[in-house]
Amino acid sequence: MNVAVDLAPVVALVGNPNCGKTALFNALTGSRQKVANYPGVTVEKKLGRLSTPAGRALEIVDLPGTYSLRARSPDEEITRDVVLGKLTSEQAPDLIVCVADASNLRLALRLALELKQVGRPVMMSLNMMDIARKRGIEIDLGVLARELGLPVVSSVAVRRGGTDALLAALDKQLDVLPRAAAATWRPPDAAGLRSAQREADRVLRAAVRNPGHLDPATARFDAVLLHPIGGLVILLAILFVMFQAVFAWARPLMELISEGFTWLGAAVATLPLPDIIRSFLKDGLIAGVGSVIVFLPQIVILFFFILVLEDLGYMARAAFLMDRIMGGAGLHGRAFIPLLSSFACAIPGIMATRVIDDRRDRLTTILVAPLMTCSARIPVYTLIISAFIPDREVWGFVGLQGLVMFGLYASGIGAALAVSFVAKRFFWRTSAGEPFMLELPDYKIPQVKSLVFGVAMRASAFLKRAGTTILSMMILIWVLASFPQPPEGATEPAINYSLAATIGHAIEPVTAPLGFNWQINVALIPGMAAREVAVGALGTIYSIDAGDGATEKIGEALKSQWPLATALALLAWYVFAPQCASTLAVIRRETGGWGWMGTTFVYMLVLAYIAALLTNQIARALGAV
Amino acid sequence: MTLPATIALGDARVGFRGRITALDLSRAPAAGLEPPELERRLIELGFVEGASVELLHQGLFGGDPIAVRVAATTIALRRREAMAVVVTDRP
C-alpha cells in the first residue's frame, strides 16, 4: 500500500448505459482525465481529477454502465468490484454517485436501491434535467430523496454551470462522510429484483409526474430509421459514406504522412553517419514510426463517425437492424461496423469492436476482422493480378481481372463468416449464446466537446498502446532484413545475405508444396511490417530499381520467374495469412494478452497454408504451370 | 365474464399495447439463456408484472428482433426471449 502517495477521496460514477454518465464525467473533469485499462482485463478505466468549490481535490472514476451489480460482462464486473471495494488494485470509492437520466428514471431507481446495499455513502444525480423538463416530466427532488432515502441533486452535464449543484453536494457529502457500513449486498434472485423494481416503481409514482411518454422526436425518427426496409437502406447509406470516408478521405492525409516520413528518411540518409546507423534510423525507426502513424487519419475519421452515431443513439438501432443478418453467422449485430471498417484496415476495425459489450462476441469479431480484405492487400493483389491474369472479358461483359479481385474479397468475407460460425458453435459451446437485449435510447444531439475528447482519446490510445508494440516489431523485422551485412564485393541485393534470407531458405521445404520459392519467403518477412511492403521487397530481391514503372517491371520479372500456380497460391495465401505485425500488436493490446494474438496468428497461418497448398496443387493438376 | 386473453409478447404484432401479467420462462424454451438468468435479465430491463408494454418496431426477417416500449423505456430483444413475457391487452 502506498499510503502517502494519494489520499484524494474517490468518487465513483455509476449508472445505466446511456444515462449521460460520460458527458457528466467530461463536464466534471474537463481535460484532467486519463484512460487506462484495469489490470488483466480490457475494460477501460476512466479517471479524472477535479477540485470542488470548497477546494477539495477529488478523484472521479467513471465506471462502465450497468443495470445491476449482478455483473454479466467483464465491464459490469469491474463496476461491481470497484463499487464493492473488492478490486485490490483500486482504492475503494468514498462516495458513489448514481447517475440517472431524469427522462428515464425507472431502471435507474432500481439500481440506486441496489447501490444503497453496498454499505458506502451513495447519492443520486439526475442528469439531463433540461430534457426531462422540456418533455413535461415533473420530478419532485425532495420527495424523491425522501422516498429513496438518498440525497438527490439535478445536473445538466452539457450546460455551463450545470454541475454546480452536484459539486456543492459532493462537498457536503464528503464533509460528513460516515464510515463505510457492512455491505449487505448479495447477488439478487428474480424475486429480489422483482420486489426492488416494485419499490422503484412506488418511488417513481410518488416523486414523478408524467414519466412514461415516448419522446416524440425519437418516435418520428424511429418510424423511418427502424423501418424494416427503409431503415436498412438508410443504414447501408450511412455505412457507405463512412466506408468511403475511411477509405478515400483519409488517403490524402495518409499520403502526406507517408511522404513526410519518406522525406525525413531521405534527409536522415544524407547525414554523415555510419551506414548501419543510417539504415537503422531510416529503414528501422523512421519507417517503423511512419508505418504506425500513417493509420492515424483512418482511425480518427472512423472513430469520429462511430462516436457521432453512438452519441446520437443510432448505434443501438444499427445493431437492431443488423442483428438477424449477422446472427446467422454467429456474430452480434454490433459487429457490423467493426467488420466493415476492417475493409479499410483491420486496426481501426479491431479498435472499434469496443462497441460490442459482450466479451465473447467481441473476441469473435476481433478474431475474424483481419480476414476482411484491407487496403494494404490491394497493392499485392494488383501486382499479381495484372501480371498473371489475362485482361479479357468473361461472359461477354465481366473483366476477368476484376472478377478475380472480387473473388479475393468474397473469399475473405466468406472465411470470416465461416470462422465466426465455427467459433460460436465450438469455442463458446460451453455456455449459452448471449441474447440480443439492449435499450434503444432516445436520440440526442452529440456534444462537440465529448466528440473531440472521444476522438482524441482513441487517437492517443492508438499511438501509445500500439506504437510501442508495433515499433518494436518493426525494429525486429529491420534487424532480420539487415543482418548479417552483405560481404565485401557482394553482387546480390543486401537482403539476400540477411537473416531473412537464411529463414527464407530454411523454410523452403515447408513452403515448396505451396509453390513458394525462397525469394517469396524472404519478401514475406518485411511484408510482416505492412502487407504492401512485400511488393517493394520483391523488387529488391529481383534487383529491380525503384522508380517510374517499377511495379510493372516487377510484374514482368515475376511473370518470367513464377509459374501461374505459384502466383495464384500467393494470392490465396494473402487472403488468409496473418501478414501484418501491426494488426497482431493491436489484437494483443485490445484483448489484453498474447493468447488471442497467438490464436489469431495460428488459425490464419493454418488457413493460409491450406488455401495456398490447395490452390497450388489444384492449379498444377489443371496445368497452370 | 370472460377471462383476459393472454399472449406471449414474442407472438405480438407491431402496434400491440397491453400490460405484463406474468413472466413464464417455460414459454421460452429456445431462449439463449437458462430460465433463471433470463428472468433476472428481463426484470432488470423493466419487464415486471403490471408494466405497460407496446410493440413499436420489428426487424425485416421473421419480424425479428422487436423493439418494445416497457413503461418509460424502449428495449430491443429477440422474439424467442420475448416469449417468456406474458401480456394481455385487457385493462
What span, in angstroms and rounded, lies between the C-alpha atoms of A25 and A100? 13
Residue A545 lies in a domain: yes
What span, in angstroms and rounded, lies between the C-alpha atoms of A468 and A483? 22
Specify whether A365 is located in the same domain as A419. yes
Long-range (24+ apart) CB contacts under 8 A made by A140-146 are A140/A207, A140/A208, A141/A207, A143/A206, A143/A207, A144/A203, A144/A206, A144/A207, A144/A208
Chain A interface test: which of B37, B48, B64, B78 (most A C-beta within 10 Å): B48
* Chain B hits for A110, Cβ within 8 Å: 44
Q: Do B45 and A439 touch (CB under 8 A)?
A: yes
Q: Please tell me if residue B65 touches chain A, with a CB cutoff of 8 Å.
A: yes
The predicted structure's pLDDT at residue A1: 40
**Interface A-B: count of C-beta contacts within 8 A:** 124
Specify whether A53 is located in the same domain as A68. yes
pTM: 0.79
* Chain A hits for B58, Cβ within 8 Å: 228
Of A189, A222, A435, the CB nearest to B32: A435
The predicted structure's pLDDT at residue A469: 64
* Chain A hits for B51, Cβ within 8 Å: 201
Give the CATH number of the domain where residue A146 resides: 3.40.50.300
Of A179, A213, A247, which residue sits at a domain end? Answer: A213
Residue A389 lies in a domain: no
Specify whether A614 is located in the same domain as A589. yes
Residue A218 lies in a domain: no
Specify whether A546 is located in the same domain as A596. yes
Q: Nearest residue on chain B to A110, judged by CA atoms?
A: B44
Specify whether A172 is located in the same domain as A272. no
Q: Please tell me if residue B78 touches chain A, with a CB cutoff of 8 Å.
A: yes
Per the DSSP assignment, residues forming a β-bridge with A122 are A96
Q: Nearest residue on chain B to A222, judged by CA atoms?
A: B57
What span, in angstroms and rounded, lies between the C-alpha atoms of A43 and A592? 9
> How close does chain A come to B5, measured CA to CA in Å?
24
Q: Nearest residue on chain B to A317, judged by CA atoms?
A: B76
Q: Do A67 and B44 touch (CB under 8 A)?
A: yes
φ, ψ (nearest 5 deg) of residue A212: -95, 0
DSSP codes joined into one string, A501-563: HHHHHHTHHHHGGGT--HHHHHHHHHHTT-TTHHHHHHHHHTT---STTHHHHHHHHHHHHS-
Chain A interface test: which of B73, B75, B78 (most A C-beta within 10 Å): B73
CA-closest candidate to residue A570, choices A526, A619, A536, A498: A619
What span, in angstroms and rounded, lies between the C-alpha atoms of A526 and A478? 7
CA-closest candidate to residue A310, choices A441, A215, A435, A462: A441
What span, in angstroms and rounded, lies between the C-alpha atoms of A173 and B20? 40
What span, in angstroms and rounded, lies between the C-alpha atoms of A518 and A332? 42
Per-residue HEC secondary structure of B59-91 comes to CCCCCCCEEEEECCEEEEECHHHHCCEEEECCC
Site of grid cell 493454418: A606
Q: Do A107 and B44 touch (CB under 8 A)?
A: yes
Q: Please tell me if residue B33 touches chain A, with a CB cutoff of 8 Å.
A: yes
pLDDT-flagged residues of chain A (< 50): 1-5, 430-432
Residue A476 lies in a domain: yes
User: What's the total number of domains in chain A?
Assistant: 3
pLDDT tens digits, A257-296: 888 888 888 888 888 888 778 878 877 777 767 766 777 8
Q: Do A104 and B73 touch (CB under 8 A)?
A: yes
Q: Do the strands A122-127 and A95-101 form a parallel or antiparallel pair, or are they unpaired?
A: parallel
Specify whether A268 is located in the same domain as A345. yes
Give every strand in the sheet of B6-8, ordered side by side: A437-439, B73-77, B66-70, B52-58, B17-23, B85-88, B6-8
Specify whether A481 is located in the same domain as A602. yes
Of A107, A226, A435, the CB nearest to B77: A435
Q: Please tell me if residue B19 touches chain A, with a CB cutoff of 8 Å.
A: no
Specify whether A284 is located in the same domain as A209. no
Residue type, B66: I
Q: Please tell me if residue B67 touches chain A, with a CB cutoff of 8 Å.
A: yes
Chain B interface test: which of A109, A197, A234 (most B C-beta within 10 Å): A197
Q: Please tell me if residue B39 touches chain A, with a CB cutoff of 8 Å.
A: yes
Q: Do B44 and A193 touch (CB under 8 A)?
A: yes
Specify whether A198 is located in the same domain as A234. no
CB of A448 within 8 A of CB of A454?
A: no
What span, in angstroms and rounded, lies between the C-alpha atoms of A313 and B67? 14
C-alpha cell at A66: 450497468
Which residues have a Cβ under 8 Å from the Cβ of A336 and sit 6 or more positions away?
A: A239, A318, A319, A322, A326
φ, ψ (nearest 5 deg) of residue B18: -175, -155
What span, in angstroms and rounded, lies between the C-alpha atoms of A355 and A339? 12
Domain annotation for chain B: domains and CATH numbers = 6-88 (2.30.30.90)
What span, in angstroms and rounded, lies between the C-alpha atoms of A174 and A471? 46
CA distance readout (Å), A97 to A26, A124, A414: 15, 6, 47
Q: Do the strands A398-399 and A393-394 form a parallel or antiparallel pair, or are they unpaired?
A: antiparallel
Tally the C-alpha atoms within 13 A of residue A386's C-alpha that lie toward its C-beta: 13
CB of A95 within 8 A of CB of A170?
A: yes
Of A413, A442, A460, which residue sits at a domain end? Answer: A460
Residue A136 lies in a domain: yes
Tally the C-alpha atoms within 13 A of residue A79's C-alpha that lie toward its C-beta: 26
Specify whether A146 is located in the same domain as A284. no
Chain A interface test: which of B47, B57, B64, B70 (most A C-beta within 10 Å): B57
Helix then strand then coil, % of chain B, to nearest 5: 20, 35, 45
| Beta strand spans in A253-369 (E) | none
List the domain range (segments joined by +) for residue A162: 10-213
Specify whether A98 is located in the same domain as A150. yes
Which residues have a Cβ under 8 Å from the Cβ of A395 and sit 6 or more positions away?
A: none
Q: Do A437 and B75 touch (CB under 8 A)?
A: yes
User: What ipTM does this complex have?
Assistant: 0.93
φ, ψ (nearest 5 deg) of residue A47: -120, 145
> How close does chain A come to B23, measured CA to CA in Å?
10
* Chain A hits for B64, Cβ within 8 Å: 323-324
Q: Do B73 and A439 touch (CB under 8 A)?
A: yes
The predicted structure's pLDDT at residue A37: 66
The predicted structure's pLDDT at residue A3: 42
In the three-class reduction of DSSP (H, G, I as helix; E, B as strand; rest coil), residue A586 is classed as helix
Residue A392 lies in a domain: no
Give me the helices (H) in A389-532, please.
400-422, 448-461, 467-482, 499-506, 508-511, 518-527
* Chain A hits for B71, Cβ within 8 Å: 106, 201, 211-212
Residue A510 lies in a domain: yes
Which residues have a Cβ under 8 Å from the Cβ of B45 and sit 6 or more positions away?
A: A67, A107, A437, A439, B70, B73, B75, B77
Specify whether A472 is located in the same domain as A611. yes
What span, in angstroms and rounded, lies between the C-alpha atoms of A100 and A208? 14
The predicted structure's pLDDT at residue A440: 93
Residue A255 lies in a domain: yes
What span, in angstroms and rounded, lies between the C-alpha atoms of A169 and A469? 44
